[in-house]
Each structure stands twice: as C-alpha cells, then as structure tokens.
Amino acid sequence: MNLSRTSRTLLRVALAAGLAVIYVPLAVVLLNSFNSDRTFSWPPAGFTLRWWGAAWDSAGLREALWTSVQAGLGATVIALVLGTMAAFAVQRYRFFGRETVSLVIVLPIALPGIVTGIALSNTFHTVLGLPLGLLTVIVGHATFCVVTVYNNVLARLRRMGLNLEEASADLGADTITTFRLVTFPMMRSALLAGGLLAFALSFDEIIVTTFTAGAGVRTLPIWIFENLFRPNQAPVVNVVAAALILLSVIPIYLAQRLSGGDPQTH
Amino acid sequence: MTTLTTTAASPGMRRRAASFLHRHGGVRLSLLLSAPLAWLGLAYLGALAALFVTAFWSTDVFTGDVVKVFTWANFTDLVTGEVYRTVALRSIGVAAAVTLIDLVVAFPMAFAMAKLASPRAQRWLVIAVLTPLWASYLVKAYAWRVMLSSDGVLGWGYGLTATVVTLSYLWLPYMILPIYAGLERLPNSLLDAAGDLGARGWRTFRTVVWPLTFPAAVAGSIFTFSLSLGDYITVKIVGGKTQLIGNVVYDNIGAANNLPFAAAVATVPVVIMLVYLAAVRRTGALENL
C-alpha cells in the first residue's frame, strides 16, 4: 500500500488520540472514587478508601445488584433459546419471508429504547393486565437480547457448513444425535459469546427497564440513576461506577478466551 | 425399575422423533420458527401496533383516563406545535451530528487498526476498543458529568454541546467495530493494486476503500443514529435544560400522564428509523451489524 510516511503517522496519532479520549473519562471516575472531597473538586485534595466502605455497606445497592443479575440471567436464557432457533431456521432453510426475520430480530435494538419501553409497558399494563415486576423486565430485556445470540450463531452456522453434519448422518447418526455430538459442540463458543453479550446488554439497560419495572423493582442502572442527582450520594455512586469499570474486565477476558480457544476463528 | 423402563422406552421414542424430524423438513422449520416468531413477530410487533393505535386516542382532561375514540388531535398538535417541531429537528440534528462526529473519529482509528497494526497489536487494539462497551452506559455518561461540571477536569458546563459530545463518546465503539470489520475484510491486494495503478492515498480512499466499507459505516450509523435519537437519559445527565424527543415522550408518560400523546411523539423516531433502515437495506448494512 502506498501511503506516505506522513499519512501513516497521522493515522497512528489519530488512533492513539482516539483511545486516549476513550479511556481518560474512565480513569477520572476511577481516580475520583478515592477522592476525599465529596464534590470531586479537581485536582483531588486527598485520597481515601472511605467511599468504597460506604458502598459495600449499602443494602439498597446490594439488592439492586442482585435484581440485575436475576434479570440478566433470565433474559440471557430466553435469548439463547430464541436466538439459536431463529438462526437455524434462517441459515438452514429457504422459506417465504426469510429476509424479514433478520429485520424483525434487529428491530428491538434498532428502534429507540423508549419506543420498545412504552410499547411493552403499554401491552403488559393495558392490554394483558400483567403487574409490572421482575418478570416483565426479563421479558423486555429478552426481546432486545435475542439479536446478539442470533448474530453469533448465524455467523457460526454459515462458517460451519454442512459437511460434518452430513458425514455424521452418513455414519448413521440420527438428527438428534448429530445435533448433540456434532452441531452443538461446534456452536458452543458462539453461544457463549452471544450469551455473554446478551447478559451485558441486559445488565446495563436502563430505558426499557424504567418502563417495564414495577415500583418495587430496582436494577443497578436504575439505582445509579436515582442516586445520581443526590449530592450526598455522589461518592457512593462514583464507587459503583468505578467498580463497574473494573468488573468490565471479566467479560472482556472471557470473550477473549472464547475467541482465542476457538480453532475456527484463526 | 422405573429408570430401566424409561431408558428402554426413550431411545425408541427419540429415534422415532428423530427420523420423523429428518423426513419432515417443513415441521423442523416450523418448530424452529415458532417461538422466535411468536415472541418477536407477534408479541413485539403487536405491542408496537397497539402503541401506534393508542397514538390515535386521547386523554380525558378531567379524569386523565384514556378515551378510546379515533382522533387526529395528537398528530395535529405535534405538527402545528412550534415546540415539538423544534425538539424533533433538534433531536435529528443531534443524532446526525453524533453520527458524523463518530464517523470522522472512527474511520482513521479503524483504518490504523486494520491496515497499519501488526496482527498481535490488532488483537489488543480490538480489546481496547471493546472494553469500554462493557463498562456501563450510565457510568460513562456520569464520567462526562463529573468532567464537564463547573469544577471538574474540563469544566465546560452542561447543555446541547455537552450532550452531543457525551453521546458521540458513548456510541464511538459501535462505529469503530463495524468499520474495522469491514476494513479487515477488504483485501490488501486491492489497495496495492490501486497503488500500482498510480492512485495516491486520498484517491485510493475515495474510489476503493470508501465504496467497499460503506455498508459497514452505514451499519455503524444505524447504532449511532438510533441510539442518539431515542436517548433521554444522557440529556438528563449532561444536557442541562435541553429537551430531545425522548424527553417529551418521557414527560408525557410520567408527569403529564398522557400516553396517547406520548405514543404519537414516539412514532416520530420510529418512522425516522424505519425510513432509515429501509433506505440502507439495499446497501447490505444489516448483514454488517
């Protein structure tokens, strides 16, 4: 490629600057979680571990965390089942309206969250007469999580092809045995990756959650948002933010292990 | 005893089920499609349709109850109301500005990642771009709130600019990743060929790189545009008194308790997104999501 030395340097500088912009705000949050000043005046006057202790002791926070984990797990399980089924149907069969399936699956995430939120809450509330609660949150989250599993499984099926499954059938395995011993093991890492994304999406979601959660249900994002504008809660909110930044390393590590341990990607 | 009978009975059952499924592709397909379509096709699209119907109803001024009689009133208010027009145009402007900023920032980054970095560095760079995606959305908006506050690191204060900056920051990885994937698929030999035929950097970009990565950029823009269009949380956190479509919808559900009008307002971003999706479907952008 005939790029001049200057353009190469400029592109590299752009990349470095972009990454700096991505990471500086996160670093500020991390640093502020040790800021001894309540209002985060900059530069910090001193450092303390006090806010981390206060966050650890907050019962409301712990409850919100648990609610988020439950919602995330519920939504992920549903998304795994629905996403896999849809991906198999689209990748392995030809049928009328096949092109539309992708569109319908992308729609909940392509439409603004507030639209999905009020559409679902209106349906639960007015049409079905269901009380809003954790279950409605799970249903709402699952709706927009399907796409992550669907895309991962679809891509995997496309790459896998049919040869191994046909070989298995030729060797006398029936449909179910082939799925259990050949197809499923080959899709496992795609399912894990899709599930991981689905969980992360659900764990972080606030808009659909706002409309589908009943009065008593508080996920972690809702807890953060409620406490964001309370000046005396600011240090604790900041600790939660810092903790979430540190915790985001876990899924990244898992995702890397998944793609690294997968012989088909490399 | 019972375990014996079940193990004896189930293989036969299973075998029969398996061979039935093997012979009937149509049944297999219907079974696979049933649950996803019932959920997303019937329930979700049904919910959207119900919301759309609600937009043609009204609210009783005194009781606050929904009056289920057809009326164009909400849409007439929406079109004639000076405020709503301003808010709608402002929202589209914000979404377009965020998309443009992200595109301009993301493209050189993605290009440097895909074409200049060594394979080993590429792996790490992808992780570096992905990592903030896993950090909470609220946390990132909050980080900017802290930095922009009058005694913060930047101290610019809150408002429309703060909203655009924060939204661009939030959705940047969604733009980088599809473009990076698109550039990675672009064979280096094409770039070399363009070079051999005498094209310089800018010409190569305009005639080879951009046309081939356009669908990927459009895929990224679906995220940045849609996510900005519906946002009301970031606006509340860093926007000061700024109002976007999302805020109007939210306020009409909460404070004003006027679901029909909220539904009418909510159709605005939906229509915009549907037009957008329909327009980009042909570019193959949906396959790049």
d(CA B205, CA A1): 11
pLDDT of residue B2 exceeding 60:
no
What sign results for the dihedral spanned by CA atoms B36, B42, B46, B47? Answer: negative
Q: Give pLDDT, residue A262.
A: 45
Cβ-contact A200, A252 below 8 angstroms: no
Query: What domains does chain B contain, in order, with CATH numbers?
Result: 2-54 (no CATH), 73-288 (1.10.3720.10)
Percentage of residues in chain B having pLDDT higher than 90:
19
Read off the tokens for B278. Answer: 């329909």
Residues A11, B112: C-beta atoms closer than 8 Å = yes
Q: Distance between CA atoms of B256 and B271, rounded to whole angstroms?
A: 24
Which of B116, B147, B201 shows the shortest C-beta gap to A25? Answer: B147
How far apart, in whole angstroms, are the C-alpha atoms of residue B121 and residue B69? 62
Q: Which two tokens mark B264?
A: 């009418």
User: Hey, are the CB atoms on B44 and A107 less than 8 Å from each other?
Assistant: yes
Q: What angle do CA B244, A113, B40 make, to 5 degrees?
A: 150
Rounded to the nearest angstrom, the minimum Cα separation between B183 and chain A is 14
Q: Is the entire prediction scored with pTM above 0.90?
A: no
**Size (chain B), residues:** 289
State the nearest Cα–Cα gap between A52 and chain B, in angstroms: 16
Angle at A225 between CA A142 and CA A243, to 5 degrees: 85
CB-CB under 8 Å, A83 with B33: no
Tell me if B45 and A112 make a contact (CB, 8 A cut-off): no
d(CA B142, CA A204): 13
- Residue in chain A closest to B278 (alpha carbons) equals A103
A-chain CB neighbours of B173 within 8 Å are 22
- pLDDT tens digits, A212-233: 987 888 999 999 999 888 888 8
**Closest approach of chain A CAs to the CA of B82, in angstroms?**
23
Which residues numbered 107-136 in A keep a CB inside 8 Å of some CB on B? 107-108, 110-116, 118-120, 122-123, 126-127
Dump strand ranges (E) for A104-245. Answer: none
* CA–CA dist B190, B195 (Å, integer): 9
Domains present along chain A, CATH in parentheses: 66-260 (1.10.3720.10)
> Is A26's CB within 8 Å of B135's CB?
yes
Asked if pLDDT for residue B261 goes beyond 60, the answer is yes
Q: How many CA atoms lie within 13 A of B216 on its CB side?
A: 21
pLDDT reported for residue B7: 45
CB contact under 8 A, A115 and B253: no
Residue B287's pLDDT is 65
Sign of CA dihedral B240, B245, B248, B249: negative
Cis amide linkage into residue A221, ω under 30° from 0: no
Mean pLDDT, to the nearest integer, of B184-207? 84
Q: Confirm whether the ipTM is greater than 0.90.
A: no
Q: Please give the full DSSP string across A79-131, using - where no structure is assigned.
A: HHHHHHHHHHHHHH---TTHHHHHHHHHHHHHS-HHHHHHHHHHIIIIIS-PP
CA dist list (Å): A161 to A90, A165, A168, B58: 14, 8, 13, 54
Q: Tell me whether residues B153 and A28 touch, CB distance under 8 A.
A: yes
Task: Quick: pLDDT tens for A87-145.
Answer: 988 888 888 888 888 888 888 887 888 889 989 988 888 778 888 889 999 999 999 99
Q: A206 CB near a chain B CB, below 8 Å?
A: yes
pLDDT > 60? residue B77: yes
Q: What are the tokens at B202?
A: 């800018």
Measured between alpha carbons, how far is A224 from B139 in angstroms, rounded to an integer? Answer: 9
pLDDT band at residue A41 using 50, 70 and 90 as cut-offs:
low
CA of B142: how far to CAs of A30, B99, B111, B147, B162, in Å? Answer: 12, 21, 30, 9, 12
Higher pLDDT, B11 or A241: A241
For B142, the closest of A7, A83, A228 (CB atoms) is A228
Contact in structure between A220 and A72 (CB atoms under 8 Å): no
Mean pLDDT of A43-56: 78
> What distances in angstroms separate CA B173 from CA A8, A43, A205, one per listed residue?
22, 29, 17
How many of the other CB atoms lie within 10 Å of CB of B5?
9
For the stretch B148-168, pLDDT in tens is 887 777 878 888 999 999 999
**Is the pLDDT score of A261 beyond 60?**
no
A50-54, B37-41, B71-75, B235-239: range with highest mean pLDDT = B235-239
| Interchain CB contact of A31 with B (< 8 Å) | no
User: Do the Cβ atoms of A134 and A70 come closer than 8 Å?
Assistant: yes
Give the per-residue pLDDT at B286: 67
What are the respective helix, strand and coil percentages of chain B, to the nearest 5?
Answer: 80, 0, 20
User: How many other C-beta atoms lie within 10 A of the C-beta of residue B94?
Assistant: 25
Strand partners, B58: B67
d(C-alpha B105, C-alpha B48), whole Å: 35
| Among A196, A191, A204, CA closest to A251 | A196
Q: What is the pLDDT of residue A40?
A: 66
Query: pLDDT band at residue B3, thresholds of 50, 70 and 90?
Result: very low
pLDDT at residue B6 in the model? 43
By mean pLDDT, which of A120-124, B10-14, B19-23, B37-41 is the weakest? B10-14
- Confidence check: pLDDT of B289 > 70: no
Place of tokens 């397909």: B29
Task: Name the 3-class secondary structure at A189.
Answer: helix
- B100 vs B35, which has greater pLDDT? B100
Least confident of A34-48, B161-175, B197-211: A34-48
